Structure 1
Amino acid sequence: MELSSEQLQRKVEAVEFAAEELLIARRQLVESDKSRNGTREALTALRRQARTSKSSVLSSESDEKICRTCGDSDGSRPVWSLCPGADVFVRLPFHQVHCNLERAQVELETDVNRLQSTVKEKTFLLSEKGAIADVVSPSLVESFVKLKDRH
């Protein structure tokens, strides 16, 4: 069965479009991962300043005044923080800075997980179209896509 030149052109365009979507998703994943790592480093630096670790200060339900990151340190002590989306440093209370960073970290984790799923899906779709069949067999790509992280 021979393809006409129009059919071949449409197939090539579909593969190129899928490949472009995959590249965009990978770039977004890399950028989100960089942001996530930067936020994690900032949280670690704040914990060092407060001389606490992620699990060193137990927060019980009866004592809600103890913050896991602040611990015994003064949460109202001002620290320098870079405003998101701007190149401006501001002095904010320690507690507010680490709460903002922890919130951003959760959002970035969700975003990275979503983008990883998207990259897997786009890779699988590209493999189904036969674009990467000469390098990796579609059945192998399918097995990788179906892998799940168990946390």
Structure 2
Amino acid sequence: MTTAMSVPSRRKIFAFVVAALIVAAGIGWIVTQTSAQASEDTVLIHTGEATHAFKVEVVDTDAARARGLMFRQELAPNAGMLFDFLAERPASFWMENTFIPLDMIFARANGEIVRVHANAIPHDRTPIPSGEPVRFVLEIPGGRAAELGIEAGDTLEHPRATAE
């Protein structure tokens, strides 16, 4: 014997299925956007004394660069984010909506580090300029550059950095 389902019950099931599809589509969109905006890679920094490896997210779109490391609550000691502007240009950062102190390492297209800004202050809106045209900015945990002896004149190595 088959019983017919009431109209309100069908509507509830239909609403549940539609809601589930919307949630699934939203999750798929988030995964796609995250994948499209950042890829994981390794950056090597060569100082006069040693070579230091950082696992980084590479961001090279306007949207991904605008978000950067905002809202992150922690960053592993050998982790970071590599901003690739795809060509040398003046760059400027600020720390609004950033919860952790960061060192910013500014580098030319060939990987030569031209400036290190140490311990950018969380939530500070003061601009942090590159000082000259750069292609890359590597953000790492605040204090790590000094701890590892990273300074202007050192070299950032990554497949995107090109020799002149």
Relative to the length of structure 1, the TM-score reads: 0.33
Q: Which has the higher strand share?
A: 2
Relative to the length of structure 2, the TM-score reads: 0.31
Q: Which has the higher helix share?
A: 1
